[in-house]
A and B are shown apart, each in its own frame.
Chain A
Amino acid sequence: MERIYMDNAATTRVTEPVMAAMQPYFCEVFGNPMSIHGFGREARKAVENARRQVADALKADPSEIYFTGCGTESDNWAVRGTAYAQIRKGKHLITSAIEHHAIIHTCAQLEKEGFEVTYLPVDEFGVVDLVALEKAIRPDTTLISIMSANNEVGTIQPIEEIGRIAKAHNVLFHTDAVQAIGSVEFDVKKMNIDMLSMSGHKFHAPKGVGALYIRKGVRPQRLIHGGEQERGQRAGTENVASIIGLGKAIEIATANIPRHNAEVSAVRDRLIDRILREIPYTRLNGHRTQRLPGNCNISFEFIEGESMLLGLDLKGIAASTGSACASGSLDPSHVLLAMGLPHEIAHGSLRLSLCEENTLEQADKVVDALIEVVNRLRSLSPLYDDFIAAQKANKA
């Protein structure tokens, strides 16, 4: 059975050029970049090259890039580190209701520690309310943290405008760009971004490596204490091979973003158009155009997401859902609920997330499989029966 992977928002595969770039840094170039000798210097040189690759992708200076263990660590560092570093200015933070748990749960913990957090609402398409943002800013606000693009519905936020508002009010601005790298063009200076989080495995680098851009002059408190790595700001021996992988991967991912977006969104649009046209009682979640090129999130009425995932999985197709039944916590997706979607619609949501390796043929196969899965599950659903019965009664 040919397997089709459409869960690239969860993680991506390490591509061959990235793997090739990393290869020498296991057995041959194994020195500790902190060592003064030749072995160490080789490793140091490679790490600094990767730092420059990341900086170039963001139009930042290499001295503003810090490698971390993952996107979650970067988020924790930016939010918690800034909250404590600026405690004399105030204890109020602003974020949005649709952030990743790495932000939301960090903020919730800070609330327990005596900070105040405003969670900005979003509209039905998942766009953060900028009027609410302006209103929420207070003299004691120290940080605005808004994601660049949402992981579930793919909505791209008006980052430049948020940066402008933050700057006008003299508040620091952090963005979780974990989903956006490779799809959104970043120019951190022009966009007034003070801090930006990324995670390697979302763009074909390995898992277990991330980075945080911190604009010169901004100084969040450090999270991890120990050695003098990362200019004393993030202790712990560098994950050299993975850092090299991240550098190579971001170079490839940002080499030609317009072309990448055009190609990937063609496959996405095939998915969206065919599903909405060929499967009744479906709706697209998120914004139609202000959307990541690789994100397709659709709700199927009368059925539940986990059972859809299982059905697709048995056909070799990997997807994801915002359904309560699949969440472990049995809570439906906070993102879909914040967008005002009723529980039943969140329940039947399915996310297909693409990378540039997915093809139109795959999209067609997935839609064909989906039609079968949805029909079967609807034939099991009491809600569908009731709906059809009610429809017949209406006609009669």
Chain B
Amino acid sequence: MNYTEQVMDHFMNPRNVGEIENASGVGTVGNAKCGDIMKIYIKVKDNIIEDVKFKTFGCGAAIATSSKATEMVKGMTIDEALTVTNKMVAEALGGLPPVKIHCSVLAEEALRAAIQDYKDKLARGENPDEVPSVEPEEIQYV
């Protein structure tokens, strides 16, 4: 497999693995192509992503891109985080084999879903850190 050193590094030593209790937002998405699943948790304080964690069921590229994406958005404002694209994540890893680009899409979508969850809570007038995120009945496949 032709993964870059950065990909292998993030695969072997993934950053930000885990869950966040009382997360401000949680995003779970699945990969429509191969069926993989990614889950990202964010903790937001003063509009800044203070902490972010992930869990991934998927290939090496899926694990590495979720790790890299969480690393990139940590410390960003919500708006900054929303500008992070799958392409940027892939580039930061020194590129991905063409057949693996869709795995990085999963990372972008999971992050967006987590932010959306956070925003939805705010829109409902809830305190995002107190109201638990509702797990989707059906995983959204992208």
Q: Enumerate chain B residues within 8 angstroms of A347, measured Cβ to Cβ.
A: 34-36
Q: Enumerate chain B residues within 8 angstroms of A271, measured Cβ to Cβ.
A: none
| CA of A381 to CA of B39, assembled, Å | 9
Contact with B59, one of A302, A304, A344, A381 (Cβ below 8 angstroms): A304
| CA of A326 to CA of B19, assembled, Å | 27
| CA of A309 to CA of B38, assembled, Å | 19
B17 near A379 with CB under 8 A, answer yes
| CA of A324 to CA of B32, assembled, Å | 11
Q: Chain A interface secondary structure, helix, strand, loop or mixed?
A: helix
B35 near A385 with CB under 8 A, answer no
Would you give the shortest CB distance from B43 to chain A, in whole angstroms? Answer: 18
Q: Enumerate chain B residues within 8 angstroms of A314, measured Cβ to Cβ.
A: 8, 12
B60 near A306 with CB under 8 A, answer yes
8 Å CB interface, A371-393 against B = 379-383, 385
8 Å CB interface, B37-89 against A = 37-39, 55-60, 62-63
Contacts A304-B59, A310-B1 given: A382-B28 contact, CB under 8 Å? yes
| CA of A385 to CA of B34, assembled, Å | 20
Interface 1/0 per residue, B99-118 and A, CB below 8 Å? 10011000000000000000
A382 near B35 with CB under 8 A, answer no
Would you give the shortest CB distance from A266 to chain B, in whole angstroms? Answer: 31
Q: Which of B11, B55, B58, B62 has the most CB of A within 10 A?
A: B58
Q: Enumerate chain A residues within 8 angstroms of B99, measured Cβ to Cβ.
A: 328, 330
Contacts A310-B1, A330-B99, A382-B28 given: A343-B35 contact, CB under 8 Å? yes
| CA of A15 to CA of B56, assembled, Å | 42
Would you give the shortest CB distance from A20 to chain B, in whole angstroms? Answer: 34
The answer to whether A303 has its CB under 8 Å from any CB of chain B is: yes
8 Å CB interface, B116-130 against A = none
B60 near A310 with CB under 8 A, answer yes
A325 near B11 with CB under 8 A, answer no
B33 near A382 with CB under 8 A, answer no
Q: Which of A302, A313, A330, A382 has the most CB of B within 10 A?
A: A382
Contacts A310-B60, A379-B17, A381-B55 given: A330-B36 contact, CB under 8 Å? no
8 Å CB interface, A274-329 against B = 302-304, 306-307, 309-310, 313-314, 323-326, 328
Q: How many Cβ-Cβ contacts under 8 Å join chain A to chain B?
A: 70
A344 near B63 with CB under 8 A, answer no
The answer to whether B14 has its CB under 8 Å from any CB of chain A is: yes
Would you give the shortest CB distance from B62 to chain A, in whole angstroms? Answer: 7
B57 near A326 with CB under 8 A, answer no
Q: Enumerate chain A residues within 8 angstroms of B14, measured Cβ to Cβ.
A: 380
Q: Enumerate chain A residues within 8 angstroms of B36, measured Cβ to Cβ.
A: 304, 325, 347
| CA of A385 to CA of B61, assembled, Å | 21
Would you give the shortest CB distance from B15 to chain A, in whole angstroms? Answer: 12
8 Å CB interface, A214-250 against B = none
Would you give the shortest CB distance from B54 to chain A, in whole angstroms? Answer: 8
B55 near A385 with CB under 8 A, answer yes
A307 near B37 with CB under 8 A, answer no
Q: Which of B3, B37, B103 has the most CB of A within 10 A?
A: B37
Q: Enumerate chain B residues within 8 angstroms of A306, measured Cβ to Cβ.
A: 1, 59-60
Q: Enumerate chain B residues within 8 angstroms of A382, measured Cβ to Cβ.
A: 28, 37-39, 55-57
| CA of A309 to CA of B58, assembled, Å | 12
A383 near B17 with CB under 8 A, answer no
Write the residues of chain B forming the contact surface with A, with a CB cutoff of 8 angstroms: 1, 3, 8, 11-12, 14, 17, 19, 28, 33-39, 55-60, 62-63, 99, 102-103
New A-B pairs, 6, CB < 8 Å, besides A304-B58, A379-B17, A380-B55: A304-B59, A307-B59, A309-B1, A310-B60, A325-B59, A326-B59
27 A-B pairs with C-beta separation under 8 A:
A302-B57, A303-B57, A304-B57, A304-B62, A306-B59, A306-B60, A307-B11, A307-B59, A307-B60, A307-B62, A307-B63, A309-B1, A323-B59, A324-B33, A324-B35, A325-B34, A325-B36, A325-B103, A326-B59, A330-B102, A332-B34, A332-B35, A344-B35, A379-B17, A381-B55, A382-B39, A383-B37
